[in-house]
Amino acid sequence: MRYKALTHNFPKKRMGLIQVDNKTEMSDTDRWGERYAANFEFFPFHEGGKYSLYKGVLNGSSFVHSRHGHMCVVRTLRNRCAESEGEWEPYLRIARETEKLIPEFNCSVGRKVFSFVAPFLTCVEQKSSFVSLFRLWNPHDKRFKPDEYVVVEPYIQCHFRRLDLNTPAVDAQGGSHCESHNVENSRTENSSAKSCSSKKSVSPSSKNKNSLVPASLFPQSQDDAEPELTAFGHYTWHRSGKFVVTNLRGAREQEGSPYKLVTPTIHSVSRSYGETDDGAAGIIDFFDHHVCNTICYAWGKYEEPNANCTTGHVTQHSSSLNQPD
Ligand SMILES: Nc1ncnc2c1ncn2[C@@H]1O[C@H](COP(=O)(O)OP(=O)(O)OP(=O)(O)O)[C@@H](O)[C@H]1O
Ligand SMILES: [Mg+2]
Ligand SMILES: [Zn+2]
């Protein structure tokens, strides 16, 4: 179901000198040849440690574009305005790595566990004249301005929570919430589903998984049914030998459907994925808290370089991805 578009982009809405909408500029063309802008609300629905997040709706440059009318989040820096694209570069690079690994992981476990639509970068084009008014009604810190760089990502509606913990699920907002059901079916998901028709195993060491060790010997992930949720982080190390993708957050709309993710965190050997990248310490911390299960127990783990007097820190990972570092 598509969210009813608040307003469409063309032409600009004005009432005399008054600007009605908050809106972004059109994005660059994505890999499906589509471009989007977002109209967004007058105040953020969340202000956290780093970001102020606005709910919005995507407007395609054409009405037939696949995500036209879908709900989105316009992510802004909370305490200042991003004045260059570079400010979002680590965030977008993490998203690209995630986007690359998720279809591979889904294939390797034989089902579509996760779906992920990477955010796009754009600028604020127009600030509504009503923003100041709404600030009185709903006080908030963020003061965005035209030309500020922002990223736009899918809005995840139901039961947003941390997914990859070995402990019971906790809603990221301190409780569950479900406003309505969003059954967005992005083209990414569809194409990924098609390319994932094959059965298991992309990775060499996943060939013998499930066969040698009874599942009962492994502690289970949060709902005892989905070891895939915790195995994904281990998989990212196994595949790359350079980083772990962690802090998986998102939700699924119904039982059996894939978990939609927002951009996670990467801890890398080169510590090159922005300020949330804790480098080797982050990777060590990940493995300290990670409990292997039937999917990932055979995969190599991070080894501290000094441990065996070699420069290597990788065991048993499959062919490296092309990383920028
Ligand atoms: N794409 C999204 N769709 C729906 N809700 C989202 C989305 N992204 C983030 N949120 C909500 O906003 C909260 C904060 O997001 P995020 O962690 O990215 O920002 P932050 O500035 O680091 O905030 P915090 O300090 O609270 O962690 C999430 O816990 C979630 O409830
Ligand atoms: Mg956060
Ligand atoms: Zn593991």
DSSP 292-309: --TTTTTS-----GGGGT
Residue nearest atom 18 of ligand 1, based on CA coordinates:
51
pLDDT at 210: 36
pLDDT confidence of residue 15: 54
What pLDDT is recorded for position 67?
95
Ion ligand 3: protein residues whose beta carbon lies under 5 Å: 234, 292, 296
Probe ligand 1: pick from 40, 41, 45, 46, max atoms within 8 Å of CB? 46
Residues 191/11, Cβ–Cβ less than 8 Å: no
Structure confidence at residue 8 (pLDDT): 42
Mean pLDDT across 70-91: 97
The predicted pLDDT at position 189 comes to: 42
pLDDT at 195: 44
- Judge whether 267 and 244 are in contact, CB under 8 Å: yes
Angle at 147 between CA 145 and CA 153, to 5 degrees: 90
Query: What's residue 152's pLDDT?
Result: 98
pLDDT at 273: 98
Tell me, what amino acid is at 150? V
Protein residue whose Cα sits closest to atom 24 of ligand 1: 48
Q: What is the pLDDT, as a whole number, of residue 165?
A: 84
Question: Which candidate, 112, 153, 74, 155, places its Cα nearest to that of 259?
Answer: 112
**pLDDT above 80: residue 211:** no
Q: Model-level pTM greater than 0.95?
A: no
**What pLDDT was estimated at residue 13?**
53
pLDDT above 90 (res 81): yes
Q: Which atom of ligand 1 lies nearest, measured to the CA of 154?
A: 1
Q: Where are the beta strands (DSSP E) in the chain?
A: 14-15, 18-19, 22-24, 36-40, 46-47, 51-60, 71-77, 114-115, 120-126, 149-154, 161-162, 243-246, 249-251, 259-261, 265-268
Q: What is the reported pLDDT for 19?
A: 82
| Tens digits of residue pLDDT in 170-210 | 444 434 334 333 333 334 444 444 444 443 433 333 333 33
The residue whose C-alpha atom lies closest to atom 29 belonging to ligand 1 is: 172
Residue 285: CA count within 13 A, CB half-sphere = 14
For residues 242 and 248, give the distance between their C-alpha atoms in angstroms, rounded to a whole number: 18
| Ligand 1 neighbours (beta carbon < 6 A) | 46, 48-51, 53, 73, 153-156, 160, 172-173, 262
Q: How far is the CA of 47 from the centre of ligand 2 (A)?
A: 10
CA–centroid distance, 298 to ligand 2, in Å, is 31
The pLDDT-based confidence of 3 (bands split at 50, 70, 90) is very low
From 262, 265, 275, the mutation candidate for ligand 1 (largest count of ligand atoms within 8 A of CB) is 262
Q: How far is the CA of 46 from the centre of ligand 1 (A)?
A: 7
- Whether residue 45 is predicted with pLDDT greater than 50 in this model: the reply is yes
pLDDT-based confidence at residue 16 (cuts at 50, 70, 90): low
State which of 45, 52, 53, 140 you would mutate to test the pocket of ligand 1, scoring each by most atoms of that ligand within 8 A of its C-beta.
53
Integer Cα distance of 229 and 134 in angstroms: 40
Residue 9 above 50 pLDDT?
no
Tell how far the Cα of 173 is from the centroid of ligand 3, in angstroms.
27
Question: What mean pLDDT is reported for the chain?
Answer: 79
Residue nearest atom 5 of ligand 1, based on CA coordinates = 156
Tokens of 160: 């947003």
| Res 130 pLDDT > 50 | yes
Q: Extract long-range pairs of 219-222: CB within 8 Å, 24+ residues apart.
A: 219/166, 219/291, 219/293, 220/293, 221/164, 221/165, 221/166, 221/293, 222/163, 222/165, 222/166, 222/167, 222/168, 222/169
CA distances from 64 to 35, 36, 190 (A): 11, 12, 16
Place 279 in a pLDDT band, splitting at 50, 70 and 90: very high
Of the listed ranges 19-28, 135-144, 253-262, 308-317, the least confidently predicted one is 308-317
Lowest mean pLDDT among 53-57, 67-71, 154-158: 154-158
pLDDT at 312 over 80: no
Atom of ligand 1 nearest to the CA of 263: 18
Token pair, residue 148, equals 């500020």
CA of 110 to the centre of ligand 3 (A): 17
pLDDT beyond 50 at 220: no
